[in-house]
Amino acid sequence: MPVEVLPEMTIVWPKIVWRMRLLIDIDGVICEYNFPKIVKNFFGVDLSSHTIFAYDLADVLGVAPALINTMFKEQVYGPPNFIDGSLEMLKEWKSKGYEIYIFSNRVKYMGEVNLAKWLIDNKIPFNDIEVTGWGEYDYHIDDSPAKLAATDSKVKLLYTQPWNRRCLDIRKQFTRVNSWSEIKSIVGG
């Protein structure tokens, strides 16, 4: 019986590229937000950043949320004051193919189009703007415990600010970070 010899075959599997997906807040994480100065300019009241005990300024100041919304609408279009290392890290991640999704309350004051324009004008790298926070993300970096708790991100990094220092994190779901060098050591870069 004759034996059939098949030619040598090479099986080529497609290369799977795993991209890191990051969900990141702007104010209090990428940019410093000088709440005492904003409150002073709008309400005429002096306070230190340590008197801001909660993320929700309406609760801190004892005013209606509508007043806080008006105050923020007047502030969000200004130039950013970057937190040390934030812009450089975002640029590095973008150059490595990481997907950067911006998840910011600014969208309710600026809308998605104006927020995208502001990000582009200020050379802040991003792939898209996330409005709901739904989706699968490897890391979520935020200064709002409530926003972090509401996502399904694998790792939730709580960026320390005076308004979240008293967060008890009773479910032990956050990793607290104090700088972008700490973020880099966790996320990589």
Q: Identify the band that residue 77 occupies on the pLDDT scale cut at 50, 70 and 90.
A: confident
Burial class of 116 by CB neighbour count within 10 A (0 to 12, 13 to 18, 19+):
middle
Between the CA of residue 13 and those of 10, 16, 27, what are the distances in Å?
10, 9, 43
pLDDT at 101: 98
Between the CA of residue 154 and those of 32, 135, 147, 187, what are the distances in Å?
25, 11, 14, 12
Give φ, ψ of 166 to 5 degrees: -90, 5
Higher pLDDT, 31 or 50: 31
Give φ, ψ of 175 to 5 degrees: -110, 120
Q: Identify the band that residue 76 occupies on the pLDDT scale cut at 50, 70 and 90.
A: confident
- Pair type for strands 139-142 and 21-24: parallel
pLDDT at 16: 56
pLDDT at 105: 92
Each residue's pLDDT tens digit, 162-184: 999 999 999 999 999 999 999 99
Domain ranges of the chain: 21-32+82-187
**Half-sphere exposure in the Cβ direction for 7 (13 Å, CA):** 3
Each residue's pLDDT tens digit, 110-143: 999 999 999 999 999 999 999 999 999 999 999 9
* CATH for the stretch 21-32+82-187: 3.40.50.1000
User: pTM of this prediction?
Assistant: 0.86
Check whether 54 has a pLDDT greater than 60: yes
Q: Identify the band that residue 1 occupies on the pLDDT scale cut at 50, 70 and 90.
A: low
Amino acid at the residue 157: L
Residues 6 or more apart whose CB falls under 8 angstroms from that of 152 comprise: 134, 135, 136, 137
